[in-house]
Amino acid sequence: LDANVCSLLHDATILHADLDAFFAAVEQRDDPALRGRPVVVGAGVVLAASYEARAFGVRSAMGGKLARQLCPHAVVVSPRMSAYVDASKAVFEVFEDTTPLVEGISIDEAFLDVRGLARISGTPLQIADDLRRTVREQVGLPITVGVARTKSLAKICSALAKPDGLLLVPADAEAVFLHALPVERLWGVGPVTARRLRAVGLERVGQVAALGEPALVALLGRGTGRKLHALAHNRDLRRVRARRRRRSIGAQHALGRRQRTPAELDAVLVGLVDRVAGRMRKAQRVARTVVLRVRFDDFARATRSHTLAQATAETPALLATARALLGALDPLIERRGITLLGVSLSNLADTPSGQLGLGFADERARALDATLDSIRERYGNSAITRAVLLGRAERASLPQLPD
């Protein structure tokens, strides 16, 4: 596809940029001895595999044992997260230099909207080409870019163009391109949905597109059915949005198959809550909902959650809640065994300005919280709003609020 075609159509303006085998590529960049050799990052579970390792069937999320069987001569390295974070920052700087409209999806991929940059930077195809070269020159990593009119299709393009590739689908070629693909290529179709589709003979996106929305809804449910129908026709109105805020923060820990005593379990829980609460305070955010996640011996899962009356990032309050949730699951854990424990916090808000440094709440804040609790007990939640306002006024040494 040449740049002239692209500029004529000029509507494939969303880029999806995706680093190739990111963790493994950083390791190969930093250690020349690893270049050209199969590299596996992560021992217990494969976090990333270089393309040389993938040639032997090694995939990320695969168990380390199987990976070693498939590729015995692979170099296994333990992850260096800080190196990856640094590399990611450097790459995102290149993104930000390309266009102000950058939406990070994960540590190694982002959407970029390059509409309206024709006079400054050229066509989307030229921009994508420059971006790839700049990342290679400045950061030393291979990156693949997909270009299309929608996020969904741009993402599909980058997946197909990997590794170290560039693929643009012009608007008038969308249907032909999309409809020939297997259904798994659609962003949002995982193993379960793919199985359901294949069970009724739907293997290509074109077949899904031809089916019609009602039939798809009947097969997959309303949400998934509608979404899939739209995506199969490349109808995807999602914009590229800069800086989306996190909606939850969590931590989890795999426990293996060994039996755990309640005391061991509690120690793990304390560690998780402490870690998560610390990250919350660092991010100056507070949470109202505590979610406890467990995985049993048979890998089935269960979650329990509790929503607090007031948002907090204080370890003791969060820990008490998490302990209560874990206690409620005790009988199940007793019966079925536990292989993973996780805590995540949602319903997030910014730390109120009067409560900065919540982790070290002073006597006064504690007294105020106690007052709020007693008000709640006596008069119910409806009295709390006014009490909170009064409390803030008091803490900020403001005059009393009018009724």
Partner DNA sequence: TCTGGGGTCCTAGGACCC
Query: Which residues bind to DNA, rule: CB under 7 A?
Result: 44-45, 47, 60-63, 65-66, 105-109, 155, 159, 186-194, 221-224, 244, 246-254, 256, 279, 288-289, 299-307, 339-340, 342, 344, 346-347
Catalytic residue among 27, 52, 103, 109: 109
Phi, psi of 32 (to 5 degrees): -55, -25
Question: Active site includes 109?
Answer: yes
Residue 362: CB minimum distance to DNA, A: 27
Residue 361: CB minimum distance to DNA, A: 22
**Do residues 112 and 102 make contact, with C-beta atoms less than 8 angstroms apart?**
yes
**Do residues 148 and 157 make contact, with C-beta atoms less than 8 angstroms apart?**
yes
Number of helices followed by number of strands (H, E) in the chain? 17, 12
Residue with tokens 């854990």: 333
Q: What is the secondary structure of 146-163 as a DSSP string?
A: EEESSHHHHHHHHHHH-S
Residue 14: CB minimum distance to DNA, A: 15
Residue 194: CB minimum distance to DNA, A: 6
CA distances from 390 to 294, 375, 399 (A): 40, 13, 9
Q: Which is nearer to DNA, 36 or 57 (CB)?
A: 57
Residue 344: CB minimum distance to DNA, A: 6
Q: Give, as one character, the DSSP assignment of residue 37.
A: S
Kind plus residue range of the DSSP H or E element containing 344 = strand 338-350
Q: Which is nearer to DNA, 9 or 21 (CB)?
A: 21
Q: Which is nearer to DNA, 310 or 371 (CB)?
A: 310
Query: Measuring CA to CA, which residue among 229, 237, 196 is closest to residue 213?
Result: 229
β-sheet bridge partners, residue 130: none
Q: Give, as one character, the DSSP assignment of residue 45.
A: B
* Number of residues written out for the chain: 403
Residue 289: CB minimum distance to DNA, A: 5
Greatest CA separation for the chain: 75
Q: Which is nearer to DNA, 50 or 193 (CB)?
A: 193
CA angle 216, 221, 224 (to 5 degrees): 75
Q: Which is nearer to DNA, 108 or 113 (CB)?
A: 108
Phi, psi of 154 (to 5 degrees): -60, -40
Pairwise CA distance, residues 330 & 319, whole Å: 16
Q: Which is nearer to DNA, 50 or 344 (CB)?
A: 344
Q: Where are the alpha helices (DSSP H) in 234-347?
A: 262-282, 315-336
Q: Is the peptide bond before 163 cis (omega within 30 degrees of 0)?
A: yes
Residue 75: CB minimum distance to DNA, A: 19
Q: Which is nearer to DNA, 9 or 101 (CB)?
A: 101
CA 153 to chain centre: 19
Q: Return the active site residues.
A: 109
